[in-house]
Amino acid sequence: MRPFDYARATSAADAVRRYRPGTMYLGGGTNLVDLMRLGVARPEHLLDVSRLPLDAVEEVRGRLRVGAAVRNTDLAAHPLVRARYPMLARAVLTGASGQIRNMATVAGNLLQRTRCAYFQDVSRPCNKRRPGSGCPAIEGDHSNLAVLGHSGACVATHPSDMAVALAALEAEVHVTGPAGDRIIPMPGLHRLPGEAPERDTVLEPGDLITAVELPPPPPGASLYRKVRERASFAFALVSIAAVLDVAADGTVAGCRIALGGLAHVPWRAERAERELIGSPATGGAFLAAAEAELEQARPLPRNAYKVPLARDLIVNTLEELAP
């Protein structure tokens, strides 16, 4: 690990003011410290923002505002989250071990880097880590990598479970930075790789997430489900956050679907949603919607299994939500 300077910010404004090239913000450290040990992250300056007064969960005009420094365990256990956004609580609880959830923060969860083995191995090329060096995953081990939205430069997937639920709930991410304050919708924080896979998000240098705000819960039933290789402490092969609102006549009045484990971003299944609105809430309609969404999948030879897995997960989850 390279030597680095360490300082503790006293406020969000102080953190932004102290930011300079080579700086990285430190929250819970559950991802950043690992990447520093591996030599993937090599900050010259660590600016600790973990003790800023950004750790409250509060209701503001019918919306729920979650501070960036709220620990994942506290978020999942909060009475308002459990009562109003059970899908989010469930997503957080499936995300990691209890010890990691006790340390990890909301902002850090959203900003965690991919777990692609080539990204984490500094002896191998990786466009995300060293732009222009290549993506060996395309010809190598890509069995758990992207089938949607990837490019010839990167086939990595985003690992966050929380982000998938927030995309379905249409959360807003509050950011402060050198250019001032702004709000970024979910989905919208994360970006597809294109030709610049080194950029995971639309954040600019020095930007600091201060809060995530949730609108009132959408009508209907919601559910988060995750398919993984083992029962705990494993990243998603495919995951889904779904909200389904069925009208009295049995047709779909509203639907939100976000998918994890399939793309460089939490993938909002907009084609499937459009297909479902006004359709009967039946297995046949759910299957047609899933197939419409997955028509755009471009699986690689060793991850083609994800397409039928995602199709079945969408159908089964919607069938479970349907009255």
pLDDT at 216: 96
pLDDT at 2: 81
Is 64 in contact with 22 (CB distance < 8 Å)? no
pLDDT tier at 293 (50, 70, 90 boundaries)? very high
Read off the pLDDT of residues 213-241 as tens digits, 9 standing for 90 and up: 999 999 999 999 999 998 777 899 999 99
> Within 13 Å, how many C-alpha atoms sit on residue 282's CB side?
7
Is 163 in contact with 186 (CB distance < 8 Å)? yes
Read off the pLDDT of residues 89-117 as tens digits, 9 standing for 90 and up: 999 999 888 888 999 999 999 999 999 99
Find all residues with CB under 8 Å of 73, minimum gap 6, and list them. Answer: 98, 101, 102
In this prediction, what percent of the chain has a pLDDT beyond 90?
95
Partnered with residue 211 across adjacent β-strands are 67, 174
pLDDT at 1: 63
Nearest-angstrom CA–CA distance, 176 and 19: 12
DSSP assignment of 24-55 equals: EEESS-TTHHHHHHHTS---SEEEE-TTSS--
Nearest-angstrom CA–CA distance, 111 and 163: 9
Q: Which of 208, 213, 212 is nearest to 26 (CA)?
A: 208
pLDDT tier at 175 (50, 70, 90 boundaries)? very high
Q: What are the respective helix, strand and coil percentages of the chain, to the nearest 5? A: 30, 25, 45
In this prediction, what percent of the chain has a pLDDT beyond 70?
100
Read off the pLDDT of residues 237-256 as tens digits, 9 standing for 90 and up: 999 999 999 999 999 999 99
| Mean of per-residue pLDDT scores for the chain | 96
Q: Which of 46, 4, 15 is nearest to 208 (CA)?
A: 15
Read off the pLDDT of residues 10-37 as tens digits, 9 standing for 90 and up: 999 999 999 999 999 999 999 999 999 9
Q: Which two tokens stand for residue 224?
A: 């988060």
Nearest-angstrom CA–CA distance, 197 and 130: 10
Is 173 in contact with 110 (CB distance < 8 Å)? yes
DSSP annotation of 250 reads S
Q: Which of 38, 48, 51, 36 is nearest to 6 (CA)?
A: 48
* In 39-116, alpha helices (H): 72-77, 79-84, 86-93, 98-103, 106-110
Q: Which amino acid is at 155?
A: V
What mean pLDDT is predicted for residues 69-90?
97
pLDDT at residue 309 is higher than 80: yes
Q: Which amino acid is at 217?
A: P
pLDDT tier at 274 (50, 70, 90 boundaries)? very high
Find all residues with CB under 8 Å of 188, minimum gap 6, and list them. Answer: 202
What mean pLDDT is predicted for residues 267-276?
98
